[in-house]
Amino acid sequence: MSEEATLPNLKGAAAYGLEGGVAEIDARERAGKWKVSRRCVCYLEERRLYHRKDGLIVPLRDDTLSAARYAYMMRRKFKTLDECRGIAGPGAPWPGGGPRGGGGGKPTTFAKGSSGHSGGHYDIFNP
Model confidence pTM above 0.85: no
Stretch 95-111: mean pLDDT, rounded? Answer: 51
For the chain, give the percent of residues with pLDDT over 70.
65
pLDDT (tens digit, 9 = 90+) per residue, 4-14?
Answer: 888 877 777 77
| 104 closest CA partner among 117, 90, 116, 88 | 90
Which residues sit opposite 52 in a β-bridge?
57
| 109 closest CA partner among 95, 92, 90 | 95
Q: How far apart are CA 127 and CA 115, in angstroms?
A: 14
Which residues sit opposite 53 in a β-bridge?
56
pLDDT (tens digit, 9 = 90+) per residue, 31-59?
Answer: 999 999 999 999 999 999 989 999 999 98
